[in-house]
Amino acid sequence: MKARTLKKDKVNIITMGCSKNLVDSEVLLTQLKGNGINASHESGTDDNNIIIINTCGFIDNAKQESVDTILQYVDAKEQGLVDKVYVTGCLSQRYKDDLEKEIPQVDAFFGTRDLPAILKKFKADYKHELVGERLLTHSSHYAYMKISEGCDRPCSFCAIPLMRGGHVSRPIEELVKEAEHKAANGTKELLLIAQDSTYYGLDIYKKRNLAELMRRLSDVNGIDWIRLHYAYPTGFPMEVIEVMKERENICNYLDIPLQHGSTDVLKAMRRGTTRQKQEDLIHSIRDILPDIAIRTTLIAGHPGEGEKEYQEMVDFIERMKFERLGVFTYSHEENTHAFSMEDSIPQEVKQERANNLMEIQEQISYDLNQEKIGKTFKVLIDKKEGGHFIGRTEYDSVEVDNEVLIDASKHYCRVGDFVNVKVTEATEFDLYAEVEE
């Protein structure tokens, strides 16, 4: 075992999974630093002696990645490279007893709502005055804002309620305060996230209050873009689209996971809707706001998806021509409703179907992007990579959507600034553009 010189504790937080997990890590980081603890997020250095791993437990691949990461740091602990390893997040919430038996070298496991318990390990207190003052772990020009926690939906395939519990909305005043703090510290774009943003407000205001929340956030000085993610189609409040239309700083963008294009599979998924109702909803949204980019996600290979149902999904994509699309393969998750169904579709068939759906989407995206050539767009610059500055239009979210590439040898852009660009060339998922002087 290697000997290490004793130093003051230095904590490194590792985040697995989605943007909601990232927000949780940022809240933890803020609380630790607020208590005077030397903490960082994915520091990339080897001088940290305490590791906190915020895990994902959503699907098999994510679970395996989380377990592999835990084992990596347990190995480092056994070599004397770190002193303590703590595990939190969705995997820990869902499989705490199993993990404690299988990986006893971990010093403690915590669930998704155990922040005060984690802080106790550091003899730290939860500081309420830090609510809304979350430290960001990435460029400060954009920030995720979690408007609620948990989910009350009964979707057959989803284990999130097992890990995150029931839906709890955050009060509007608290979210406005957070937005004001972010704006004062240079944030220009808010990305609203939740397990189900459609449900926002029903628990604390006894009505769907998403539209009012967006109005209030839109009033915050310094916020140029507000982007809505994770809307649920059933019960979606159309007033939200009216607010998008009337407020310039609310992006004409909606992320609304629809999950399938077959009514029979939607029924098996317990989505509470039909193919026709979903099509009607998308048409209604586009009627009110024709200039909107709709992003959705679909699942290939859910139990009950035969060739007929798969072809219905193909037809659904070809008819609706979504501006943005992601496709996942079905993962058979224990303790979900779908786990009682037979997972009879081979993984290679699921993957082939998913790949085919994305090939269809590539052509749709290519055709839509060709229409942008010669047009001018406002772009937010995210980073410089290789020989290009890379940015996004209001129709594109961080990491998952199209990007705008600007030749760095011809133009200088500052990360976090808005620039107006003219599109000169387009591929399936990228736009090439010149800065307009």
Diameter of the chain by CA atoms? 68
Residue 376's SS3 state is strand
* CATH fold match for the domains 135-371 and 375-435: no
Contact criterion met (CB below 8 Å) for 437 and 421: no
Total Cβ atoms within 10 A of residue 367: 12
CA 65 to chain centre: 17
Q: Could you tell me which residues come within 8 angstroms of residue 291 by beta carbon, excluding any fewer than 6 positions away? A: 252
Region 375-435: CATH code: 2.40.50.140
**Superfamily for 11-126?**
Methylthiotransferase, N-terminal domain (3.40.50.12160)
| Interatomic CA distance for residues 304 and 341, integer angstroms | 9
Positions at the binding site: 18, 56, 90, 151, 155, 158
Contact criterion met (CB below 8 Å) for 14 and 53: yes
At residue 246, what are phi and psi to the nearest 5 degrees? -90, -20
Class of domain 135-371: alpha beta
pLDDT tens over the chain, length 437 residues: 444 444 678 999 999 988 889 999 999 999 999 999 999 998 777 788 999 999 998 888 888 999 999 999 999 999 999 999 999 999 999 999 999 999 999 999 999 889 999 999 999 999 888 877 788 888 899 999 999 999 999 999 998 888 888 999 999 999 999 999 999 999 999 999 999 999 999 999 999 999 999 999 999 999 999 999 999 999 999 999 999 999 999 999 999 999 999 999 999 999 999 999 999 999 999 999 999 999 999 999 999 999 999 999 999 999 999 999 999 999 998 889 999 999 999 999 999 999 999 999 999 999 999 999 999 999 999 999 999 999 999 999 999 999 999 999 999 999 999 999 999 999 999 999 999 97
At residue 430, what are phi and psi to the nearest 5 degrees? -130, 145
* DSSP conformation class of 137: S
| Interatomic CA distance for residues 136 and 182, integer angstroms | 9
Positions at the binding site for [4Fe-4S] cluster: 18, 56, 90, 151, 155, 158
Where are the chain's structural domains? 11-126, 135-371, 375-435
At residue 414, what are phi and psi to the nearest 5 degrees? -105, 130
Question: How much of the chain is helix, strand and coil, in % rounded to 5?
Answer: 35, 20, 40
At 1, list the tokens.
Answer: 């075992």
Residue 123, judged by CB atoms within 10 A of its CB (0-12, 13-18, 19+), counts as: exposed
pTM: 0.89
Question: What is the DSSP pairing of strand 376-385 with strand 250-255?
Answer: unpaired
